[in-house]
Amino acid sequence: MILWLGIWLLFLVGLRLSYFFSGIETAFYRASKLRLNIDAQTGDVLSRRILNFAANPSQFVATILIGNNIANYVTTYAVSCGAIQALGSLSELKEVAVTVLISPVVFVFGELLPKSLHYQAPLLMLKRYFHFFWIAHLLLLPFSWPLMLFTGLLQKLGGVQRQPMLRILGRRPLANVIGQGHEEGVVTRMQHDLIQGVFLNASLRLDNLVTPREVAFTTIEQPTRAQLLEHARAFGLVEVAVMEESEGQKRPSYYRVCELLLHQAALNEIRMPMTEIPIESTRLEALLRLQQQDCDMGVIMDGVQIVGIVRRRVLVEALLQGGLAAQPLLD
């Protein structure tokens, strides 16, 4: 009775080891490295340890290989002891029959079930059992270390260089990373749409966002505060563009309606200069230039000729609308 109890206990230990190493292997390759990277940067020690293995996967693979072999050996030894105890000496036919009968149990509970569970919730399962993997890694280090050295030697001889994680090579990989970040909950829907809008608008020209010079500027040569406010009210504007003459040259500038209403200072004290933007600039370049100069409006120049104006608010709306339109493409 005690012998059978020992055999069953040994079989369950081997099955549990197989469950553990098979499951954590699936979780490791399935877990989001982007999420782990963000968690590690926020001070999560466990995520930092997992990322160390992700940066040097040979350590992880060597531990998994040895662990799986130990699990298989323990399971096989327990089955052999049980078969001998039950049937006496084993012939080749009996050995094959016992193997066929036990294999489905080992496959389902030691391989299929853990892989399915860890596939569904990889990050949760990886963090839950990683402490046990860390202990197994330290215990098996004398056996796995030669494998890691051999792997490193093969990489050097083959000229294989380890690539840094999350290396971004272009628009499509970056879009995939952002999409993955949205799925993992680290990028909001607004951020997701804005980044997609940036992708679409990065190379588009300004042409259809420019208000032509003929309708962009007020025709009043020396406007008063009341005239500026009346012009803004008539056309529903929050900024009023004017073309004022200074030192014999006409210079574009604008007034913010809120400052016209709230500040009683002279008009020349609240007048805002416009940033010059070349006509060949892209939408993204124009927005960045306006952001850097903290300007609400920019004057579009074709050489020395004024083409029209572009508003920062319009550029931002184009980015957001572009992101929504790009959702099926980049998701």
Tens of pLDDT along the chain (331 residues) come to: 788 888 899 999 999 999 999 999 999 988 877 778 878 878 888 988 998 888 888 889 899 999 999 999 999 888 888 888 877 776 677 777 877 888 888 889 989 999 999 999 898 999 999 999 999 999 999 888 888 887 777 767 765 555 444 444 445 555 566 666 666 565 677 666 667 666 666 677 887 889 888 888 887 777 888 888 988 888 888 888 988 766 667 788 899 999 888 888 888 888 888 989 998 888 888 888 898 888 999 999 988 888 899 999 888 887 766 544 444 333 3
Q: What is the pLDDT of residue 179?
A: 63
Q: Are residues 143 and 211 in the same domain?
A: no
Overall number of domains in the chain: 2
Query: What is the extent of the structural domain holding 297?
Result: 207-325
Q: What is the pLDDT of residue 214?
A: 85
Structure tokens of 53?
A: 């293995």
In a domain, 229, yes or no: yes
Q: For residues 230 and 261, what is the distance between their CA atoms, to the nearest angstrom? A: 12
Report the half-sphere exposure of 41 (CA within 13 A, side-chain side).
7
Q: Please report, for the domain that includes residue 276, its CATH number.
A: 3.10.580.10
Q: What is the pLDDT of residue 328?
A: 38
Structure tokens of 66?
A: 């040895």
Give the Å distances, CA to CA, from 245 to 140, 167, 173, 239, 293. 82, 53, 51, 19, 22
Q: Are residues 140 and 29 in the same domain?
A: yes
Q: What is the pLDDT of residue 170?
A: 47
Q: Are residues 136 and 32 in the same domain?
A: yes
Q: Give backbone dihedrals phi and psi of 165, rounded to 5 degrees, phi first.
A: -70, 150
Q: Are residues 136 and 222 in the same domain?
A: no
